[in-house]
Amino acid sequence: MPVFDIHLHVQPWSMVRRDALDLIDDPAHTGAREILASAASVLRYLDSEGVERACCVNYVSPEVMGFTREVNDWIADFTRAHRHRLLPVGSVNPLHEADAGAETRRVLDLGIRMIKVHPPHQLFSPNAYRADLPQLADVYRECESRGIPVMFHTGTSVFPSARNVFADPMPVDDVAVDFPRLTIILAHAGRPLYGRTAFFLARRHPNVHLDLSGIPPKAMGRYVPRLAEVADKVLWGSDWPAPGVTSLRKNIDDFRALGYGQVIERKVLWENAVRMFPSS
C-alpha cells in the first residue's frame, strides 16, 4: 500500500532561529540536516521509509521560526525537478506584506500546491480578516479561486516564541463558512487540547479535513477516537522532523497496527491525499 505524507517539513535549515533549532537539532534527528540538503537525498529518505509522495511544508514566520518570505522561492526551486513526488508548500503572512493578494498570486504562480497558515507561529488568528487584518481574506480568496488547499496548524506549540492563544481551531469555522469552496486541512487534528473542536469542524463542514501529523499512532484512540466516522476526510502526515517525530516508517507501521482495516488505512495513507493532490 503506497503512502502519501502530506506534512513533511522540508525547510531551509539555515533560516531556523537558534532557540527553535535547539528543539529539532538533537540526537533523535541525527542525519536530518543531511537528508534536507537536496531533493535527491529527501527522495532517498522517503524510499527508505516507505513513502511515495510528500507535501514539503514551509511557512513565513520570522518572529518564531526565522522563516522569511524567501522560503516560497526556496521550496519552489528545491522541488522543481521532482514535483511528481515532492509537492511544494508555501505561505503568505499578511503581517509582512503590503499586498497579500498580489503575494499570494506570485507564490501560487511558482507552482506551490498548498498554503500553510500557522497561527501560533505567524501570530494571527485564522479569522483575523473579520477584524484588524482584512487582507488575510485575499489569501483565502485567491486559493479558493484556484483550487489550492489551505492547511491550518491547530493545537499548541512548544517552540519558545509561539503564542498559543492562537492554538484553538474554532476560528477556522468562520473561514469554512465565508469560503465554502476552499479546501481546508486542520493539521494535527487539534492535538493535544482541541481534538473535539477539530472533529466537530470536520463533521460540520464539507470542506474541512483533518491531518494526523504529530499524533503518536499509539495515542490515536485518545486524540481522534472517532476517526473511522470521518475516514474519508482524514489525511496521513508525519510532521518530521518536529520534536518527538523520529521515524516515518515506525509511525506508519504503528498506525497500521491499530486495526482500522485496509479500507480505512488505504483512505488515510493514500487515497484521500491523492484525490486532493492529483499528479500534475
> Residue 21 has what pLDDT?
87
Q: Which one-letter amino acid corresponds to residue 99?
A: D
CA distance linking residue 208 with residue 214, whole number of Å: 18
> Residue 121 has what pLDDT?
98
Kindly list the domain boundaries of the chain, sorted by start residue: 4-276
CA distance linking residue 61 with residue 59, whole number of Å: 6
According to CATH, the superfamily of the domain at 4-276 is Metal-dependent hydrolases (3.20.20.140)
> Residue 243 has what pLDDT?
85
DSSP 67: B
160, 133 contact by CB (below 8 A): no
What is the number of other CB atoms lying within 10 angstroms of the CB of residue 127?
Answer: 21
30, 36 contact by CB (below 8 A): no
Q: Could you read off the pLDDT of 110-159 as tens digits, one per residue?
A: 999 999 999 999 999 999 999 999 999 999 999 999 999 999 999 999 99
> Residue 280 has what pLDDT?
67
103, 69 contact by CB (below 8 A): yes
Cβ-Cβ contacts under 8 Å for 23 (sequence gap 6 or more): 158, 159, 243
Cis, peptide link before residue 192, omega less than 30° from 0: yes
> Residue 25 has what pLDDT?
78
> Residue 259 has what pLDDT?
97
Torsion of CA 213, 61, 56, 155, to 10 degrees: 10
CA distance linking residue 75 with residue 79, whole number of Å: 6
Nearest partner of 100 among 157, 159, 143, judged by Cα: 143
CA distance linking residue 236 with residue 32, whole number of Å: 21
Q: Which residues of the chain have pLDDT under 50?
A: none
What b/e readout covers 215-225, taking b as 16+ CB neighbours within 10 angstroms?
A: bebeebeebbe
> Residue 188 has what pLDDT?
98
